[in-house]
Amino acid sequence: MKIVVTKDYESLSEIAAAMVLEKMMLPQRVNLSLTAGVTPLGMYKILIERRKALRMDQSNIHYYNFDEVPLPKAESNFTMGDLNQAFYNHTDIDRANIHPLPVDGIQDYERELMMNGGIDLMVLGVGTDGHFCANMPGFTSFDKGIFEIPIAPGHKLYEQLLTLTPELPGEKIVTFGPRAVLKSKQLVVFASGAGKAEIMQKVISGPITEDIPASILRTHPNVTFILDEAAAALIDDVNII
């Protein structure tokens, strides 16, 4: 486990983008899995600018989504729509190289991914409750591969989703579980802001427990946690760069 603590969000975004770009520069096929949400927006801005400046050949880079919420009446599902808006739509990525996680047929998706070499680099955020991907406390276990979580009106996760999108969610969430995530060759986990300080202390220094799903991530042999100073405030013995 490596912990990198930066002075601010901008520095965090630069380091995360540099780690992704390092993979993008490889000549062989590279399979990336990138997170949606607020934390990666700075990273995506840098990646968009650098890709254009470098005029990179991206035909060997493939992108795999690690969770999805179906929105039956929307133009695209929740995670895919977020990634389109933040990154994909601002690049010349061949859409054939983007592999959305299907709502149905997750076993076929996992099999195809493994046949193509697995995930080379996965970039993850952590929620204030310790979730990653859609591995929410109380709804996952460390032995899960790619799996689905049934939801319906009144269900805790369904009601949470209503605060994130005006569209009504479908009947389930699909996500990479801990076992599937830990198969990735490299993990980058980032968090920013004082609101993440308490949970990141638990993730990095507390017990490994399904009550804090992201605590399992530190068992990966090649994981880097990138935190800004505010998010790392409660973690002992870290140096700020």
**Considering 67, 82, 120, 228, which one is annotated as catalytic?**
67
Annotated active-site residue 129? The verdict is yes
Annotated active-site residue 228? The verdict is no
Cα gap 169→41, rounded to integer Å: 24
Cα gap 48→63, rounded to integer Å: 15
Beta-strand relationship, 172-176 and 67-68: antiparallel
DSSP state letters, 35-62: --SSTTHHHHHHHHHHHHHHT---TTEE
**Considering 62, 131, 220, 228, which one is annotated as catalytic?**
131
Annotated active-site residue 99? The verdict is no
DSSP state letters, 139-200: S--TT--EEEEE--TTSHHHHHHHTT-SSPP-SEEEEE-HHHHTTSS-EEEEE-SGGGHHHH
**Considering 90, 99, 129, 155, which one is annotated as catalytic?**
129
| Catalytic machinery residues | 67, 129, 131
